[in-house]
Amino acid sequence: MGIARRDLLKWGAGVGGAAALGGLALPSTASATVRTTPRGLPTDDWMSRLDGGVSLLDLTIPGTHDSCCENPAYGTEWSHTQNWGIPQQLREGVRFLDIRCNGLQGAPDELGIYHSDAYQHIRLQDVLDQCRSFLQAHPGETVVMRLRNERAGGQALGDEEFLRRVDHYLDALGYRGLFHFHGWPTLGTARGKVVLLADFTNPWGLIDWSSGQNAYFDTQDVWQLGGLDPLGTKGQYIVAQFDKAFRTPNSPTMFVNFLSYAGGYWPKTSSQSLMDRTVYPYLNARTQQRARFGIVPMDFPDFHVNVLQMLIDKNVV
């Protein structure tokens, strides 16, 4: 049974929230030792083992949803979607980041990272610096980043002001050289860079995000459903998107398949159920099958390292 949103907001991250989660224990902090996938790919350097001539469209790229939402104190358990910070996500093999911004109070040129109107106490420049540091240490990798105008709360920004602040980051703060901007690149072209997916209004001809379908994307992001078994139905959407991506290997669009779900459940609860009921069984039955599933964002990959690593291995099986 789902948990009512009003109860989530009331309980937040305190004693009531912990009790409601029952026996779902938080994992211990992961070791700094680099993991290796079952197929032998080091998780911090797996893209470097692939042919640079392959298009990003032909890869399976594991990612995170609301990538910076690590602390339920910055919102509630409703807005808590990750336990790993960005540096550890990248070391563990995550290569897609979901970065959502509003204006930053008291800083007229800056952007803060938000989940709706809940500030996550990290700025866009912090995220970019973390990505740049990782890519300098791992020049064979790339990071694909959805940059979204969250348009929420008292720090919401209109289209023109959001664009002005992005431009400030690119030029005044010197981040332009970090990015690949236009069209789906080969992995060789993208190496050492952040591939920008623009979820904000712009006139620049960027790779424009869609939560449905456009010339660049075919996205499954169903996060709220009715019915007696919404997580079962969400699982059907996930499987259908995996199958669609597999059956159309020459599609010129990037498939995106969100494994996350809200709809009256805490992200921890829905993630655990979807992984156990749907995602792990689907991938485990196909471990010998290479597949280009596209971008696969998830909540709490630390709870499901097996799934994260199976997605990485889809690129070499």
> Any residues with CB less than 8 A from the CB of 305 and at least 6 apart, and which?
35, 92
pLDDT of res. 19: 29
In a domain, 18, yes or no: no
In a domain, 29, yes or no: no
Confidence of residue 126 (pLDDT cuts 50, 70, 90): very high
In a domain, 195, yes or no: yes
Which DSSP state fits 172? Answer: I
Q: Which of 131, 112, 107 is nearest to 123 (CA)?
A: 112
C-alpha span between 66 and 260 (Å, rounded): 10
The first and second tokens of residue 157, run together, are 């920004």
pLDDT of res. 227: 86
- 31-53: average pLDDT: 91
Confidence of residue 261 (pLDDT cuts 50, 70, 90): very high
In a domain, 137, yes or no: yes
Which DSSP state fits 168? Answer: I
Residue 114 has pLDDT above 80, yes or no: yes
In a domain, 295, yes or no: yes
pTM: 0.90
The number of domains in the chain is 1
pLDDT of res. 202: 97
CA distances from 143 to 32, 41, 125, 187 (A): 20, 17, 15, 11
Confidence of residue 34 (pLDDT cuts 50, 70, 90): confident
Residues 208, 142: contact at Cβ < 8 Å? no
In a domain, 56, yes or no: yes
C-alpha span between 147 and 144 (Å, rounded): 10
Residue 22 has pLDDT above 70, yes or no: no
In a domain, 305, yes or no: yes
In a domain, 297, yes or no: yes
Summarised one tens digit per residue, pLDDT across range 238-247 is 999 999 999 9
The first and second tokens of residue 64, run together, are 């995170």
- 287-301: average pLDDT: 96
The first and second tokens of residue 306, run together, are 């097996």
Q: What is the CATH number of the domain that holds 79?
A: 3.20.20.190
The region, left, alpha or beta by phi > 0 then psi within -120 to 50, assigned to residue 86 is alpha
Identify the domain containing residue 103 by its residue range: 35-313
CA distances from 303 to 18, 148, 192, 204, 252 (A): 17, 26, 28, 39, 33
